[in-house]
Amino acid sequence: MKEPGRKAADAYVLPEEKGGHGNLSLVDTHAHLDLLKEDVVAVLREAREAGVTGVVTVGISLDSSRKAVEMARTHSGVRAVVGVHPHDAKDLDRQTLRELRRLATDPFVVGIGETGLDFYRNLSPRTDQERAFRSQLELARELDLPVVVHDREAHAETLRILEEYAPFGGRLIMHCFSGDLDTARAVLDMGGYISVAGPVTFPNARRLQDIVRRLPLDRLLIETDCPFLSPHPYRGKPNSPARLVLVASRVAELKGLCLGELRLPDPFTRD
């Protein structure tokens, strides 16, 4: 959905003095392209015009994971992560896991997730969430793929389970990080990455902004989690990969860099 009066990609073109966007090449490390209401071709074109050249689309269920793989096969610059979200953890039975394993062998699949724990909404019982989390951690380890972790109001329990599978050697991504500095450090110690989304742009997100200031750039990722979590000043509106530029711009600012100088790692590179 477009905001009235906004001209497609123009809304994301930043002035030259802020680093411009001409040679930007950002990767949206966490998007849900299958949940967007707009045409994906148009969404990806708009993203490219804004400087977002790569998108990792993440499954939340078996059906959504299938769509993610299909999109990666169809659209250049798109890669897929397959998994079952903690909200749907109760549905992860043996057959679903077998099907996920099969999907994960597709060359366009670059990770397992999103999995983890959500004790905020508790849409699946906690025991199911923990079981599904462990199954997907084991699958990621078996296939030597990065695991994409969702942790909402379950920091201690998430860390406790992750520690059983550490070290990760770069094969762990904490998506839409919302923990404190100690949690971030524990993730780094396990060989993981911290990924920040739209909330880093909110004026009152001081704790997250402080964490970004302190973390090494080679352990930091950016994402939109679209259609959710639109960055400031679009908070509450549907999000899209083009808006990654606003997240990138804020992160660059927190690091004392121009947007054009921001170089972040890509843990989804398959070699």
Residue number with the smallest Cβ distance to Ni ion: 225
- d(CA 200, CA 222) in angstroms, rounded, equals 10
Residue 92's H or E segment, with its range, is none
- d(CA 229, CA 239) in angstroms, rounded, equals 6
- d(CA 261, CA 181) in angstroms, rounded, equals 25
Residue 225 makes contact with Ni ion by CB under 5 A: yes
Which region among 5-13, 89-97, 220-228, 256-264 touches Ni ion (by CB under 5 A)?
220-228
Which residue carries 């003095």 as its tokens? Answer: 17
- d(CA 77, CA 128) in angstroms, rounded, equals 34
CB of 223 to Ni ion, least distance (A): 8
Which region among 67-75, 90-98, 223-231, 249-257 touches Ni ion (by CB under 5 A)?
223-231
What are the φ and ψ backbone dihedral angles of 115, each rounded to 5 degrees? -130, 175
> Among residue numbers 149 through 168, which ones bind Ni ion (CB under 5 A)?
none
Of 151 and 225, the one with the shorter C-beta distance to Ni ion is 225
Of 14 and 36, the one with the shorter C-beta distance to Ni ion is 36
Of 118 and 225, the one with the shorter C-beta distance to Ni ion is 225
> Please, are residues 68 and 85 in contact by the beta-carbon 8 Å criterion?
no
At 180, the amino acid letter reads D
Of 88 and 225, the one with the shorter C-beta distance to Ni ion is 225
- d(CA 78, CA 71) in angstroms, rounded, equals 7
Count residues near Ni ion (CB under 5 A). 1
CB of 86 to Ni ion, least distance (A): 11
34: left (phi over 0), alpha (psi -120 to 50) or beta: alpha
CB of 22 to Ni ion, least distance (A): 30
Which region among 63-71, 118-126, 134-142, 222-230 touches Ni ion (by CB under 5 A)?
222-230
> Among residue numbers 1 through 60, which ones bind Ni ion (CB under 5 A)?
none
User: Where do contacts with Ni ion occur on this chain (CB under 5 A)?
Assistant: 225
